[in-house]
């Protein structure tokens, strides 16, 4: 067993320790189930001897059969109890693992989420955990009972005939060797299968989430080719893994059949020489069969556990990812939300890049005074949204610093910093629920305040036309609402909070020109006295900005007011004329 598998097993045992009582009960019920079940063959052997070797004592025969029936009943009840405990134990462990994985997603740095496909992460949290659940359930249900059956059967067999039992024990390692050899070989095959399955989930998630774009660009055939390629690779990997793993059962069955035949032959000779009775031979053959059966089940469990361990390893890889530093664990951090009164922001010699081998922002210097409206413009990929990410501390700068009211934001709690900003992004975020829930977002705000804010941003008119008004239930990400309507709801949400600083990243990109003109008035009211950062491609929307930063290749190449930049006849002049020339 390699180091990675050992580590994975230890981690799983850590989850099991949280449910020690259930694990102990499972073992207890397994012992009762096996012991009472294996006591039945002894009673049946006695009944046979009662018939064969003496005049039939019907009273004794009935007594033996009633004991056998009672043992079988106790065995069945204990089996039901064991399965109930195992189900609860397994799904409690799976629930805890999923909770840990989901909690990890909330504390992972944005760099991890940006660099890992969403489909692969979904596969780890959902499909891989389901595979682990199947393996654990088989392990608890069949592995425990199998081991108990082997131990108790050996005890019963040894009490009947030590010599024949010795034959069985000597031949048993052959079965174990076959099972172990095959299970070790299949681990890597299941690892490949699990990885390709994650790749497939990633593609499906990508295609479903962007179905309109796929159809608009007639990408269906290409997407189908990609899916067929992944599907064929998954088929090949799955067939290999299942083929080699399925060799375990036939291999162990062959060895066990040889053991059974030798036991029958040795027992028959012993009966002929008077060494044991027919009833004892009958019990012995039953035990030989019972003894070999768990090896077949255990071999199947071992195969399933290989797959489960691979899947658990993928889940633990996610759980073990380096998380964003918890602000609460760092002493001396400031709570900027309690003291931001001016909203003065400055960037001093800031360098940043997503990839160390590709520079993006270099030597960025900006000084924004209280209440200034700052527009950030430039071609796609110049660093506009990256600058917003740095201001919100979604990413930390590589060098230099960003200050808010004179405090380096790396010395400020993230939650505190972000609560000082109000954001309206090009990409909207709405959850399943009513329009009211999505606007209030759990805050204690009256309906009158909500409606007043909705009227100010001109979302009240379309909400009122909906079937149930503010009580209309919308689906995930806005459901059937248009992109413009969804953006209006997000603007209404920010209008209700009005923090000291605002960030508008293409906030009106999906709204028609007429409504946009109306919303500009609402924005002017909202931004009054607040430091605001506005990212825009439509330069007509930022004419009134106090300061316009023109970015190109991660650098601010021009800054000034709209009129000043036009008079310079530089890059901003070219951008403006390209839209209105």
pLDDT at res. 80: 92
312 lies in the same domain as 359: no
272 lies in the same domain as 344: no
Does a structural domain hold residue 433?
A: no
pLDDT at res. 110: 80
How many angstroms from the chain centroid is the CA of residue 268? 58
499: closest CA among 337, 264, 354? 337
Band of pLDDT at residue 491, cut at 50, 70 and 90: confident
pTM of the model: 0.65
* 449-481 pLDDT, tens digit each: 889 888 888 888 888 888 888 898 887 777 778
Band of pLDDT at residue 510, cut at 50, 70 and 90: low
pLDDT at res. 442: 66
Does a structural domain hold residue 102?
A: yes
301 lies in the same domain as 351: no
79: closest CA among 38, 29, 40? 29
**What's the CA gap between 283 and 487, in Å, rounded?**
77
pLDDT at res. 251: 73
Structure tokens at 461: 């008119």
- Between 143-147, 328-332, 520-524, the lowest mean confidence (pLDDT) is in 328-332
308 lies in the same domain as 338: no
* 18-41 pLDDT, tens digit each: 888 988 898 888 888 888 888 887
Domain end position, chosen among 284, 319, 354: 319
Q: Report angle CA 530, 541, 401 to the nearest 5 degrees.
A: 45
CATH label of the domain that carries residue 567: 3.40.50.300
| Backbone phi, psi, residue 288, to 5° | -60, -40
- What percent of the chain shows pLDDT beyond 70? 90
pLDDT at res. 154: 81
Q: How far is CA 347 from each of CA 400, 403, 546, rounded to the nearest angstrom?
A: 8, 6, 17
**What's the CA gap between 558 and 547, in Å, rounded?**
10
Residues contacting residue 478 through CB under 8 Å, at least 6 positions apart: 428, 430, 485, 486, 489
* 350, β-bridge pairs: 364
pLDDT at res. 573: 84
**What's the CA gap between 264 and 282, in Å, rounded?**
9
| DSSP-based three-state secondary structure for 475 | coil
**What's the CA gap between 483 and 494, in Å, rounded?**
17
| Backbone phi, psi, residue 402, to 5° | -115, 130
223-242 average pLDDT score: 88
**What's the CA gap between 314 and 320, in Å, rounded?**
10
Does a structural domain hold residue 298?
A: yes
363 lies in the same domain as 250: no
pLDDT at res. 326: 65
297 lies in the same domain as 370: no
231 lies in the same domain as 369: no
Task: Find the helix or strand (DSSP H, E) in which 378 lies.
Answer: none
CATH label of the domain that carries residue 284: 1.20.1560.10
Domain end position, chosen among 319, 342, 376: 319
282-300 average pLDDT score: 73
Other Cβ atoms less than 10 A from the Cβ of 278: the count is 16
Reported as half-sphere exposure (CB side, CA atoms, 13 A), residue 334 has a value of 18
308-336 average pLDDT score: 73
* 193-228 pLDDT, tens digit each: 878 887 888 888 888 878 878 888 888 888 899 899
The answer, yes or no, to whether residue 308 has pLDDT greater than 80, is: yes
Does a structural domain hold residue 521?
A: no
Q: Residue 276 — left, alpha, or beta (φ > 0 → left; ψ -120 to 50 → alpha)?
A: beta
532: closest CA among 511, 556, 502, 507? 502
413 lies in the same domain as 312: no
Question: Do 440 and 496 touch, CB atoms closer than 8 A?
Answer: yes
Other Cβ atoms less than 10 A from the Cβ of 256: the count is 23
161 lies in the same domain as 297: yes
38-47 average pLDDT score: 79
**What's the CA gap between 383 and 121, in Å, rounded?**
27
The answer, yes or no, to whether residue 520 has pLDDT greater than 80, is: no
425: closest CA among 383, 371, 393, 388? 388
* 372-429 pLDDT, tens digit each: 888 888 887 777 888 888 888 888 888 889 888 888 888 887 877 888 888 887 777 8
The answer, yes or no, to whether residue 337 has pLDDT greater than 50, is: no
271 lies in the same domain as 167: yes
* 549, β-bridge pairs: 376, 559
Question: Do 97 and 314 touch, CB atoms closer than 8 A?
Answer: no
73-86 average pLDDT score: 90
pLDDT at res. 335: 56
**What's the CA gap between 83 and 26, in Å, rounded?**
8
Does a structural domain hold residue 286?
A: yes
Does a structural domain hold residue 239?
A: yes
| DSSP-based three-state secondary structure for 560 | strand
Based on the structure, what is the number of domains in the chain?
A: 2
Domain end position, chosen among 271, 291, 319: 319
Does a structural domain hold residue 469?
A: no
* H-state helical runs in 350-457: 384-391, 414-418, 435-440, 447-456
pLDDT at res. 553: 77
How many angstroms from the chain centroid is the CA of residue 133? 14
Residue bearing tokens 């001109």: 458
- Give rounded-to-5 percent helix, strand, coil for the chain: 70, 10, 20
Averaged pLDDT of the chain: 80
**What's the CA gap between 195 and 83, in Å, rounded?**
31
User: Which sign, positive or negative, has the C-alpha torsion 30, 32, 35, 40?
Assistant: negative
Does a structural domain hold residue 466?
A: no
**What's the CA gap between 299 and 182, in Å, rounded?**
9
- What percent of the chain shows pLDDT beyond 90? 2
66 lies in the same domain as 189: yes
Question: Do 430 and 474 touch, CB atoms closer than 8 A?
Answer: yes
230 lies in the same domain as 355: no
More confident residue, 295 or 316: 316
| Domain coverage including residue 343 | 334-420+530-581
531: closest CA among 545, 517, 541, 550? 545
pLDDT at res. 20: 87
487 CB-contact burial (10 Å; exposed 0-12 / middle 13-18 / buried 19+): buried
Angle subtended by helix axes 20-52 and 3-17, to nearest 10? 90
């Amino acid at each position: 067993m390699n180091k990675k598998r050992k580590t994975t097993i230890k981690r799983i045992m850590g989850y099991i320790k949280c449910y020690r009582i259930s694990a102990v009960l499972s073992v207890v019920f397994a012992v009762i189930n096996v012991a009472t079940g294996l006591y039945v063959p002894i009673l049946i052997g006695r009944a046979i001897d009662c018939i064969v070797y003496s005049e039939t004592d019907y009273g004794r025969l009935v007594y033996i059969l009633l004991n056998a029936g009672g043992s079988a009943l106790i065995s069945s009840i204990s089996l039901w109890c064991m399965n109930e405990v195992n189900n609860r134990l397994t799904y409690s462990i799976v629930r805890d693992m999923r909770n840990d994985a989901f909690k990890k997603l909330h504390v992972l740095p944005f760099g991890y989420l940006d660099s890992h496909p969403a489909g692969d992460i979904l596969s780890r949290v959902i499909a891989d955990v389901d595979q682990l659940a199947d393996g654990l359930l088989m392990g608890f249900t069949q592995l425990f009972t199998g081991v108990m059956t082997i131990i108790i059967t050996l005890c019963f067999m040894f009490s009947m005939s030590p010599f024949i039992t010795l034959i069985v024990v000597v031949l048993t390692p052959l079965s174990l060797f076959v099972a172990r050899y095959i299970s070790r070989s299949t681990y890597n095959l299941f690892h490949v299968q699990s990885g390709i399955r994650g790749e497939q989930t990633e593609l499906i998630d990508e295609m479903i989430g962007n179905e309109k774009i796929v159809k608009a660009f007639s990408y269906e055939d290409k997407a189908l080719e990609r899916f067929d390629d992944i599907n064929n690779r998954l088929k090949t990997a799955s067939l290999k893994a299942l083929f080699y793993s399925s060799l375990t059962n036939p291999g162990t069955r062959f060895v066990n059949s040889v053991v059974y035949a030798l036991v029958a032959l040795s027992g028959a000779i012993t009966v002929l020489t008077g060494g044991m009775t027919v009833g004892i031979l009958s019990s012995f053959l039953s035990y030989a069969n019972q003894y070999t059966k768990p090896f077949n089940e255990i071999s199947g469990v071992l195969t399933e556990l290989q797959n489960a361990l691979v899947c658990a390893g993928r889940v633990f890889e996610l759980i073990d990812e380096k998380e964003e530093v918890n602000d609460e664990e760092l002493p001396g951090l400031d709570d900027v939300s309690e003291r931001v009164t001016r909203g003065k922001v400055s960037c001093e010699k800031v360098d940043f890049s997503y990839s160390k081998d590709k520079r993006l922002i270099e030597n960025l210097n900006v000084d924004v005074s209280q209440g200034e409206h700052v527009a950030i413009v430039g071609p796609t990929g110049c660093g506009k949204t990256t600058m917003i990410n740095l201001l919100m501390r979604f990413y930390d700068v590589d060098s230099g610093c960003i200050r808010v009211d004179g405090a380096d934001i790396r010395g400020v709690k993230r939650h505190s910093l972000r609560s000082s900003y109000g954001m309206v992004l090009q990409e909207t975020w709405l959850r399943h629920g009513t329009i009211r829930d999505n606007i209030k977002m759990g805050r204690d705000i009256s309906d009158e305040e909500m409606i007043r804010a909705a009227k100010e941003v001109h979302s009240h008119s379309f909400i009122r036309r909906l079937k149930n008004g503010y009580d209309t239930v919308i689906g995930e990400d806005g459901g059937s609402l248009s992109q413009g309507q969804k953006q209006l709801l997000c603007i209404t949400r920010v209008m209700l909070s009005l923090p000291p600083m605002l960030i508008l990243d293409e906030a009106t990109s999906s709204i028609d020109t007429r409504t946009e003109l109306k919303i500009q008035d609402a924005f002017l009211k909202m931004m009054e006295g607040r430091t605001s950062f506005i990212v825009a491609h439509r330069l007509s929307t930022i004419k009134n900005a106090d300061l316009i930063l023109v970015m190109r290749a991660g650098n601010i190449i021009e800054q000034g007011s709209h009129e000043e930049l036009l008079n310079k006849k530089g890059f901003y002049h070219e951008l403006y004329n390209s839209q209105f020339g």
